[in-house]
Amino acid sequence: MSASIAIDSLPTVQPIVLPSLLQCDFANLEREVRTLEEAGVQALHLDVMDGSFVPNLSYGMPIVAALRKVTRLPLDVHLMIEQPQRYLRQFAEAGADLLTFHIEAAPEAGPLIDEIHSLGVKAGLALNPATPLGTLDAFLGDIDLALVMSVPAGFGGQKFHENALEKLQSLRSRVRPEVILEVDGGVNASTIARCAQAGARWFVVGSAIFGQPSYGDAVRNLTHLASL
Ligand code: DX5
Ligand code: ZN
């Protein structure tokens, strides 16, 4: 497999839908990736959970490395783990193009953002629905992406929290134009347009792709709704 597609080449003004692989068929991971590529997705969203920061366990570096071997798509890695500083290097070496950690897990986020950048990777900061936006203020000048959780991190298939919309709007007016606003959780055909109007451009989608008969139809429909 040749080098991965540069994450810098992804759209930041036009909307993109990033599938969350939490609900994919892990026994056929490569086949799932091919189906998603054929569906037109431009990046993959990988949810790493440690059973401590969130009450659920998913996967870690080996799956990121395995995916890196079978796709050139940029890998957007969402770390839902305690003490994320322990693993930044390993995820970068596994092939992550963007590493997002939670402000609740590392309130003094500055050194982690610097380390991610020194590893040659883009840095994102995530916050849960219950966490005030002000917790990100000191770092807004340093991040490449802000991830507004529209469900409490931990599980796919939860109901969208409306307060994500206010956070997105507020962020959009305060961050540099090139900072990507990503929304994650309960994003589907009923909620995606409002997220787009609030300023989100990257849309993480689990159930509304993996529960559908055609990934391609789902991705196209959601992208269309986010573009209106
Ligand atoms: C939740 C994860 C999400 C999740 C999205 O903690 O970060 O990426 O898989 O799934 P849906 O779209 O089903 O809410
Ligand atoms: Zn996620």
What pLDDT digit, counting tens, does each position of 123-143 carry? 999 999 999 999 999 999 999
The predicted structure's pLDDT at residue 2: 63
**Residue with CA nearest ligand 1 atom 8:** 20
Token output for 79: 């770390």
Q: Give the pair of three-digit tokens for residue 223.
A: 């992208």
Do the Cβ atoms of 150 and 191 come closer than 8 Å? yes
Q: Quick check: is 97 catalytic?
A: no
- Model confidence, pTM: 0.97
* Axis-axis angle for helices 61-70, 29-38 (nearest 10): 50
158 lines ligand 1 (CB under 6 A): yes
158 CA: nearest ligand 1 atom: 14
**pLDDT (tens digit per residue) in 44-94:** 999 999 999 999 999 999 999 999 999 999 999 999 999 999 999 999 999
Q: Which domains does the chain have, with CATH numbers?
A: 3-227 (3.20.20.70)
C-alpha 151 – ligand 1 centre gap (Å): 8
Residue 162 has pLDDT above 90, yes or no: yes
Mutation pick for ligand 1 pocket among 17, 18, 20 (CB with most ligand atoms within 8 Å): 20
Which residue minimizes the CA distance to atom 4 of ligand 1?
A: 156
- For the segment 16-48, what is each residue's pLDDT rounded down to a tens digit? 999 999 999 999 999 999 999 999 999 999 999
Q: Is residue 184 annotated as a catalytic residue, yes or no?
A: yes
Which residue type occupies 30? E
Instruction: Say yes or no: CB of residue 186 within 6 Å of ligand 1.
Output: yes
Please give the helix or strand (H or E) that residue 173 lies within, else none: helix 163-174
Does residue 204 have its Cβ closer than 6 Å to ligand 1?
yes
Mark the residues whose beta carbon lies below 5 A from ion ligand 2: 47, 78, 184
Give the chain's end-to-end CA distance (angstroms, integer).
36
Beta strands in the chain (DSSP E): 16-19, 44-49, 75-80, 98-102, 122-127, 145-149, 180-184, 202-205
Would you tell me the crossing angle of helices 29-38 and 215-227 to the nearest 10 degrees? 50
Ligand 2 centre and the CA of 200: distance in Å?
A: 14
Percent of the residues in the chain that have a pLDDT greater than 70, as a whole number: 99
Task: Indicate the top mutation candidate among 155, 182, 195, 202 to test ligand 1's pocket, ranked by most ligand atoms within 8 A of CB.
Answer: 155
